[in-house]
């Protein structure tokens, strides 16, 4: 009773001491597939779904602590695996003069390339959201960082592994065999293995660069077939990885490079992605900017081997263009074309977005598998699709 009375006394002070902010969005999405499904049990036609992602932040008026909470939920009408809930962020951040300490669930992005996020490894990919690797599950972590004149140093300790999500038997954008069942792990303690990463980043004039070391459970699984040959079972290897990302800026040029070395499953390999983006400002005497992109991705692992995770971009060129209108609606268009030098498998992707007013936003995404070749993309050859998303921000 006394504790309750004491809480009621100090509650007004707590409310005044912290600035609580609520933002986020709620949206409706309609994805349509152009062709009938390639595999049994998959649906045809339209895939409506609903999304909600509120964002709470608590900022003290006086003090060095911050709190963030961002849950995410999708309700899908055609694939029960795509109906899912995740905590994208839920952390406490303490900021000191010499260091920062974050404890909880967070999302961390590394890399500079446009079409392949090669060195990004902290978070697991939310594969039922999209196959482009941009949607990530929240990762439990302790992150200790210091930012000095000589650069930034980040230590990550991750005590719990997040397994990748995959479409169900009804879902599209999946492999011929459904990925199902409990995953297998190289680590004896499965998901409880403690992963660690150390990253150093800095800049020098027009150069921005980072280098890191990761030791733990790899985010990319390889796949084993179950005993009766009806399902794929993900297997997560313990890996060691060293990666770097470098960007050079000069006038309208952005030169980008990502590279890594990885030891996995008693083997090791190198992989790189690099290229440039050149921006033409105020084209044809307008306020619009046009960016021209070219990147090349190479991966040294054997993509046909069951002893390694499947690789979609192992020897591929990416050609793209980014149109930014610089209008009050923040209108933007990104179109890209990827082609494999060996198999000639190719993809065309288009992303466009525009604010309708201060609260509403309209997005269009489209991905076309034009030539499946004989690589991993052959599983998606009937999955060309167009997605329309309307979101209300608050």
pLDDT tens per residue across span 84-115:
999 999 999 999 999 999 999 999 999 999 99
pLDDT tens per residue across span 276-302:
999 999 999 999 999 999 999 999 987
On whether the CB atoms of residues 222 and 182 are closer than 8 A, the answer is: no
**Positive or negative, the Cα torsion across 189, 190, 191, 194?**
positive
CA–CA separation, 67 vs 54, rounded Å? 14
DSSP H helices in 309-384: none
Average pLDDT, stretch 334-347? 94
pTM for this predicted structure:
0.92
* Strand segments (E) across 15-113: 18-33, 46-60, 65-76, 84-95, 100-106
Say which range, 9-13, 329-333, 359-363, has the weakest mean pLDDT.
Answer: 9-13
What topology does CATH give the domain 20-393? Porin (2.40.160)
Domain locations in the chain as residue ranges: 20-393
Phi, psi of 23 (to 5 degrees): -145, -165
Strand pairing class (222-225; 238-250): unpaired
Identify the pLDDT of residue 392: 98
pLDDT tens per residue across span 154-179:
999 999 999 998 999 999 999 999 99
Average pLDDT, stretch 226-249? 95
CA–CA separation, 160 vs 216, rounded Å? 11
pLDDT tens per residue across span 111-154:
999 999 999 999 999 999 999 999 999 999 999 999 999 999 99
């Amino acid at each position: 009773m006394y504790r309750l009375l004491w809480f009621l006394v100090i509650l007004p002070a707590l409310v005044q001491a912290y600035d609580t902010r609520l933002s986020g969005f709620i949206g409706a999405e309609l994805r349509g597939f152009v062709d009938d499904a390639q595999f049994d049990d998959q649906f045809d036609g339209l895939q409506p779904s609903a999304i909600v992602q509120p964002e709470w932040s608590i900022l003290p008026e006086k003090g060095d602590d911050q709190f963030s909470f961002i849950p995410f939920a999708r309700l899908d009408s055609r694939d029960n695996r795509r109906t899912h809930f995740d905590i994208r962020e839920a952390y406490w951040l303490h900021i000191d003069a010499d260091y920062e300490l974050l404890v909880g669930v967070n999302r961390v992005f590394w890399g500079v390339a446009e079409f392949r996020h090669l060195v990004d490894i902290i978070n697991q990919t939310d594969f039922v959201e999209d196959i482009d690797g941009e949607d990530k599950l929240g990762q439990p972590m302790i992150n200790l960082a210091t930012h000095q004149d000589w650069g930034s140093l980040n230590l990550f300790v991750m005590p719990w592994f997040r397994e990748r999500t995959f479409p169900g038997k009804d879902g599209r954008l999946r492999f011929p065999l459904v990925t199902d069942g409990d995953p297998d792990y190289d680590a004896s303690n499965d998901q409880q293995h403690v992963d660690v990463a150390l990253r150093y980043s800095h800049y020098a004039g027009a150069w921005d660069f980072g280098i890191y070391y990761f030791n733990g459970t790899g985010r990319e699984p390889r796949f084993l077939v179950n005993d009766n040959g009806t399902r794929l079972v993900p297997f997560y290897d313990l890996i060691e990885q060293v990666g770097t990302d470098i960007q050079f800026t000069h006038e309208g040029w952005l030169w980008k490079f990502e590279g890594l070395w990885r030891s996995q499953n008693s083997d090791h390999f190198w992989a790189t992605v690099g290229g440039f983006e050149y921006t033409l400002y105020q084209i044809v005497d307008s306020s619009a900017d046009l960016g021209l992109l070219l990147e090349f991705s190479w991966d040294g692992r054997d993509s046909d081997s069951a002893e390694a995770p499947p690789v979609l971009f192992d020897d591929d060129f990416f050609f793209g263009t980014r149109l930014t209108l610089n209008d009050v609606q923040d209108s933007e268009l990104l179109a890209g074309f990827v082609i494999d030098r060996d198999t000639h498998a190719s993809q065309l992707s288009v992303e466009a977005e525009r604010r309708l007013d201060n609260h509403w936003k309209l997005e269009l995404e489209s991905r076309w598998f034009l030539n499946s070749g004989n690589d991993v993309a052959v599983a998606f050859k009937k999955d060309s699709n167009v997605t329309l998303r309307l979101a209300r921000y608050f």
